[in-house]
Amino acid sequence: MAGQSWSSFSQSPHLSEVSAKPAEVIVVGAGPVGLFLGCRLAQLGVRVKVLERRLERSGSSKAIGIHPPSLEYLDRIGVAKAMTSQGIKIKRGKAFTSKRRLGEVDFELCPKPFSYILALPQFITEEVLEKRLKELAPCALEQGVSVCGLEQTATEVLLSCEKEGQLETFSASFVVACDGKDSWLRKQLGIEFVGRSYPDSYVMGDFKDSTDLAHDAGIFLTKEGLIESFPLPCNMRRWVAKTDTYLSKPDLSDLIKPVQDRLGIVLDAESNKMLSSFKVQRYLAERFTEARVLLAGDAAHVLSPIGGQGMNLGWLDAWEAAAVLQSALHAQDFAPLFATYSRKRKKAARKATRRAEMNMYLGRKMTFVGLKYALVSLLLRRPFKTILARVFTMRWL
Ligand SMILES: Cc1cc2nc3c(=O)[nH]c(=O)nc-3n(C[C@H](O)[C@H](O)[C@H](O)COP(=O)(O)OP(=O)(O)OC[C@H]3O[C@@H](n4cnc5c(N)ncnc54)[C@H](O)[C@@H]3O)c2cc1C
């Protein structure tokens, strides 16, 4: 919303107040989920502020998969075109053993127009969302602002923030914590983050595409463990390989060797653009609300990246949160709205976590590998194929 007017606020005498700018809703964190929520709230005519501690965004391309339900919402906030024009439309996921093809998931069986998974590096996704937020609400995003104090009254939330070495106070009727998996706000609210680490670990990297998979994803269920491969813009390809132990500082051979040994595919070391490793965890906030604060995105749930759902699930939270907040601003009693949000989004997160687990289990080393191949081949036939395409593209969450 353009032309916001912020009035003065002074309620915390212990803070040196540089300025005071009450919004109706403050979003903490300008990752993909906070930026998306800022756009949607602004579009709904809600006065929104998005506070982000970083001055510059990271160039990391960790989340690359954008699923159809998200694309529908991204379209509604006016960014789907900018994203699809820069990304790769993955229409099929082909499953292989190390030697033969098992079948394929055809995403074109999903409802149109977004009958594909879009591959787009996370930093481009964030750039597009940030640009859109600036169009919808030019003053909403404040960078270099780290939230470090929280107080809730009967009518508002007060946030103390550090900005350029000074303390500044912001207030709003409601706050949404989109501050990532180590959420300071969630901890401050005393909301437990229940979960555990899995034994699984992976190494991943981006290389020039030397396969004949073109715009298809490749899922290789080898005896030695899963290898996944996804097309990226600029003729690059993301490779992810399961490792026996977590490699904190992987080198190129940690990815090139398993791909060559298990699949006979030679990756071009010279073309490597990114190399990293990750362990896998599942965590779920015991509740997604506390008085006037909502949680969304990784602040509320962390799941295995195998299947690429975390950011997408956060956007589905944000879509729902925006509608709930718009109603709450005019409601006599917002508590039932928040309780419904918490219940619904927690249920969706549980479902997504189970789906991510299934993807991960399928990729583990197995004693009865023939049985696994038979099961996957069966699932890749009709009628299961259509259901699988929808489950894989995050329908029913
Ligand atoms: C290897 C890997 C691959 C992945 N691939 C996919 C994929 O393909 N598809 C998918 O959907 N998901 C994927 N994910 C998950 C996805 O990256 C995350 O779910 C997503 O980044 C979460 O977004 P978020 O906005 O909730 O949190 P974050 O991206 O963590 O953003 C939180 C923001 O809050 C800011 N912040 C934190 N504390 C404060 C504070 N006190 N004050 C102000 N600002 C603060 C941070 O600086 C940050 O910018 C992947 C994850 C990994 C690790």
- For residues 205 and 240, state if they share a domain: yes
Is there a domain that residue 187 lies in?
Answer: yes
Candidate from 40, 60, 62, 66 with most ligand 1 atoms within 8 A of CB, to mutate = 62
Nearest to 186 by CA among 194, 124, 231: 194
Burial annotation 287-325 (CB, 10 A radius, 16+ → b, else e): bbbbebbbbbbbbbbbbbbbbbbbbbbbbbbbbbbbebb
DSSP 244: S
First-last CA distance in the chain: 29
- For residues 308 and 381, state if they share a domain: no
Gap from CA of 358 to ligand 1 centroid (Å): 22
- For residues 129 and 56, state if they share a domain: yes
Is there a domain that residue 380 lies in?
Answer: yes
- Looking only at the bridges linking them, the beta strands covering 141-143 and 225-232 are unpaired
- For residues 237 and 95, state if they share a domain: yes
Question: What's the sign of the alpha-carbon dihedral 179, 180, 184, 186?
Answer: positive
Is there a domain that residue 27 lies in?
Answer: yes
C-alpha span between 387 and 248 (Å, rounded): 37
C-alpha span between 186 and 215 (Å, rounded): 39
Q: What is the CATH number of the domain that holds 326?
A: 3.50.50.60
Gap from CA of 383 to ligand 1 centroid (Å): 35
Domain that holds residue 105: 90-119+199-281+364-392
pLDDT < 70 regions, the chain: 1-21, 61
- For residues 219 and 334, state if they share a domain: no
Contacts of 212 (CB under 8 A, 6+ apart): none
Is there a domain that residue 128 lies in?
Answer: yes
- For residues 31 and 101, state if they share a domain: no
E-strand ranges in the chain read 23-28, 48-52, 65-66, 88-90, 92-96, 101-106, 117-119, 141-143, 145-152, 157-163, 166-177, 193-208, 217-222, 225-232, 236-243, 274-285, 289-290, 293-295, 301-302
- pLDDT for residue 21: 53
Gap from CA of 397 to ligand 1 centroid (Å): 19
Is there a domain that residue 67 lies in?
Answer: no
Residue nearest to atom 9 of ligand 1 (CA): 308
Model confidence, pTM? 0.92
- pLDDT for residue 374: 82
- For residues 277 and 204, state if they share a domain: yes
Residue nearest to atom 49 of ligand 1 (CA): 31
Is there a domain that residue 2 lies in?
Answer: no
* Number of domains the chain contains: 2
Is there a domain that residue 208 lies in?
Answer: yes
Q: What is the CATH number of the domain that holds 276?
A: 3.30.9.10
In terms of Cβ atoms closer than 10 Å to its own Cβ (0-12, 13-18, 19+), residue 208 is middle
- For residues 130 and 167, state if they share a domain: yes
Length of the chain: 397
For 263-322, the pLDDT digits (tens) are: 999 999 999 999 999 999 999 999 999 999 999 999 999 999 988 899 999 999 999 999
Ligand 1 pocket, CB under 6 A:
28-34, 51-54, 62-65, 122, 146-147, 178-180, 184, 278, 297-298, 305, 308-312, 314
Is there a domain that residue 9 lies in?
Answer: no
Residue 270 CB neighbour total at 10 angstroms: 8
Residue nearest to atom 31 of ligand 1 (CA): 31
Nearest to 201 by CA among 166, 143, 156, 250: 250
- For residues 56 and 136, state if they share a domain: yes
- For residues 131 and 269, state if they share a domain: no
Nearest to 129 by CA among 50, 209, 235: 50
- For residues 294 and 349, state if they share a domain: yes
- For residues 260 and 386, state if they share a domain: yes
Nearest to 177 by CA among 39, 317, 67: 317
CA distances from 239 to 167, 204, 211, 256, 303 (A): 44, 5, 11, 9, 19
